[in-house]
Amino acid sequence: MNKQFKIEHSIYALGAFIAIVGVLFLIARSDAVLKFQYFNKPIEQAVVEQEVEASHKIPSYLLLTGADQSNLQEALIKRLELMGKEVEVRSITSIETKEDLEGYISVIIATEQIELLNETDLILRFVEDGGSLFFAVRPAPGPALSTLYQSLGLVETGSFIETTGIELEQPFFNEAGETDFASDNIINSSLTVRLSGDAELFASSSTGIPLLWKAFYGEGTFVVFNGTMFSEMTDQALFVKGIQQLTEHVIMPMINARITELSGFPFLVPTGRDLSPAYTNRDYYRTLVWPELQRIESKYDLNYTASYKAIDDTGSLNLETSPELEDLRLYGRELLRMGGEIALHVSSASNQERSVQQVQSALPDYSLHAGVSLSLEMGDRLSNEMSTMLAPVKYIEEVEETIVLPAIAEGFELKASEKWKLFNELFVSGLYTHSVDASSFIEAQNAEEQMTVFADFQQSMYEQVPWIRSLTLSKAGEAAFPYLNSDLYETQKGNKLIFSATAMIENQPAYYYLSTKRTIAGTENCEVRQVGKDLYLVTANDLTFAITLGESK
């Protein structure tokens, strides 16, 4: 009797458990789940601010310019500002004494016309006495270079040569990182040079021409870039690397986010059996492609942003029974439960209106906060209604109240030049965006191969930057607030660096890259993690935080 009684109760308990799971499953598949705050309008965060003591300063750089290289000068000014630095611009012809170069963190020469210097010995005396100077474009051959070249770490210099590709001496990040970016699309105008044994090389062309190096001179430092690529904002990783070599430490804001966009969601493919005789195209994506994308997302916590592009509507589209909108409803719910986000993929104003209407029909009460545009013009028009935009811009910016993030890499398999762009942005701002379009499988007939490549790429990124946060597009826009809207002041007391930011989002950390050749001996109101050679990720939990430096490595 006892045993029978226990079995009956076990059956009741099991039945109740199955009923509860069934109810939860029905709720999860219904539109009710989309009405929760988690899936709907994001909670607005308060901004905390502070005034900074007068003893704290923003590091200031002197940029020397000539009549040439106007694009370079504008690009370097913008990059230094995004790094949170102040910039003073002066003509190279205005420098008359060594004292004109003093009072700055470092001096940057943004002209190849070094013959315009009133006295070449000025910069030699400046650096010899402890200053630091960066040639941000390869200098033109002439008497001035003939006077300087040995002090710049050279034993021989020759004529102009076009170089391609980048070979790093060390990865940007940890030892598993990429170092070889061999591409004919990565182009520099360089000088044929041979370095002295005392020079420290950081990067060369694919054919071995030195591109970036450092040379000590007296008590100071020369850094030389033997190229011309810094005029492009998307090619400035080596510029930032050079800036980091000029002083004992450099701190700069970063976003710490990656965005993985599923373009063409939810796989609007033609009828037929193009990928397998056993499945229709629609069933193939539902049975094989989507589960594999879900597996990869789960393993690497990608939090997909899926951009929806409206179905062409000639007036016959039934919003209730359309199989395409049924797919949007089904895939969309699953995407949101995975922690993802739906964004608008817009190519025209009418397309935008249809997209909004179709998303609202398939997913009632879901609020759209992010957009993706392939053109700057449409991006500007769409940005008025979106908190965050992904568009083909050169750098992170704020347009009115919309954060615009650069679309960087596209495709399941990335070429060397695309990887270079990706690692550039990751190094200079702590952001990378990667867009893939699974509907391309129909034409290319390589679904399984491309999915394997995609998974391998995620594994590679995990090994190189395991600390990077996977955010949806709108969340990455929120994370960019301190990057764009906060100034970082600093002061030093012995080995202790004290930093004071002017603004941050309440209860959300701010992130910074810190470059130093010294160890970290202590921290206050922040956490520090080494992410590369002489490179640290700083997670600041307060507007004011401090880092104590230890011994030199």
Average pLDDT of the segment spanning 428-440 = 94
| Cβ burial, residue 552 (10 Å; 0-12/13-18/19+) | exposed
Q: Are 263 and 196 members of one domain?
A: no
Domain ends where: 430, 461, 480?
Answer: 480
Confidence tier at 343 by pLDDT (50, 70, 90): very high
DSSP single-letter state for residue 287: I
Please, are residues 259 and 434 in contact by the beta-carbon 8 Å criterion? yes
CA separation for the pair 271, 274 (Å, rounded): 9
pLDDT digit string, tens, across residues 224-276 = 999 999 999 999 999 999 999 999 999 999 999 999 999 989 988 888 898 88
The distance of Cα 171 from the centroid of its chain, to the nearest Å, equals: 16
The number of folded domains in the chain is: 3
Asked whether residue 34 is assigned to any structural domain, the reply reads no
Choice among 104-113, 371-380, 450-459 with the minimum mean pLDDT:
371-380
DSSP single-letter state for residue 82: H
Domain ends where: 445, 480, 515?
Answer: 480
Q: Are 140 and 283 members of one domain?
A: no
Average pLDDT of the segment spanning 165-181 = 90
Please, are residues 538 and 530 in contact by the beta-carbon 8 Å criterion? no
Q: Are 154 and 262 members of one domain?
A: no
Q: Are 206 and 290 members of one domain?
A: no
Asked whether residue 12 is assigned to any structural domain, the reply reads no
Full DSSP string of 291-316: HHHHHHHHHHT---EEEE-PPP-SS-
**Where residue 291 sits, what CATH number does that domain have?**
3.20.20.370
Q: How many CB atoms lie within 10 A of CB 276?
A: 14
Asked whether residue 203 is assigned to any structural domain, the reply reads yes
- In the prediction, which pLDDT does 5 show? 42
Q: Are 281 and 380 members of one domain?
A: yes
Confidence tier at 499 by pLDDT (50, 70, 90): very high
Q: Are 493 and 399 members of one domain?
A: no
Q: Are 405 and 470 members of one domain?
A: yes
Contacts of 5 (CB under 8 A, 6+ apart): none
pLDDT digit string, tens, across residues 50-109 = 999 888 999 999 999 998 889 999 999 999 999 999 999 999 999 999 999 999 999 999
Q: Are 180 and 283 members of one domain?
A: no
Domain ends where: 459, 480, 501?
Answer: 480
Asked whether residue 252 is assigned to any structural domain, the reply reads no
CA separation for the pair 91, 65 (Å, rounded): 5
Q: Are 463 and 497 members of one domain?
A: no
Q: Which domain holds residue 131?
A: 61-247
Q: Are 527 and 426 members of one domain?
A: no
pLDDT digit string, tens, across residues 19-44 = 665 555 455 445 555 554 444 455 56
- In the prediction, which pLDDT does 104 show? 96
Determine what percent of the chain is predicted with pLDDT higher than 70.
Answer: 88
> DSSP 3-state assignment of 495?
coil
Q: Are 383 and 438 members of one domain?
A: yes
Contacts of 278 (CB under 8 A, 6+ apart): none
**Where residue 72 sits, what CATH number does that domain have?**
3.40.50.880
Q: Are 282 and 403 members of one domain?
A: yes
